[in-house]
Amino acid sequence: MIVFVSCIILFLIGLYAVVTKRNLIKIAIGFALIEYAINLFFALVGFKRGALAPIITRLDTPHNFVDPIPQALVLTAIVIALGTTALMLTIILRIYSRYKTFDIAEIKK
């Protein structure tokens, strides 16, 4: 239960950074925190205490397996998050090279 609460807190910290900060780098870090919180939540949904990894074993022994779908979704989400974060930072660097600032208020002028 404490891990779910920490996941929600991590999401809220990222949301706070995205909504209230004016620095583009801090906003990008906020988006990354939100992505990490969502990935952690999906990994926690598929967790079962005492369960084994879903690999091929002998068919005559009963096992309690972990659901592999959330694990696959998290791996896919990590790759997508890497790509979106790299694209976001590239766009931020292009904005900085043009306006010489990371501040949103200065860019809007």
CATH code for the domain in which residue 13 is found = 1.10.287.3510
Of the candidate ranges 17-26, 40-49, 55-64, 77-86, the one whose mean pLDDT is the lowest: 55-64
Q: Are 35 and 81 in contact (CB under 8 A)?
A: yes
Report CA Rg, the chain. Answer: 19
DSSP bridge pairs for 52: 65
Number of domains in the chain: 1
22 within a domain of the structure (yes/no)? yes
Question: For residue 55, is it within any domain?
Answer: no
Domain assignment present for 18: yes
Residue 61, pLDDT score: 63
How confident is the model at residue 77, as a pLDDT?
95
Can you tell me whether residue 100 is helix, strand or coil? coil
Instruction: Give domain status of residue 59, yes or no.
Output: no
* In a domain? residue 73: yes
75: in domain: yes
Who wins on pLDDT, 47 or 14?
14
Phi, psi of 52 (to 5 degrees): -105, 165
Is 20 a member of any domain? yes
Alpha carbon of 69 to those of 43, 73, 75: distances in Å?
10, 6, 10
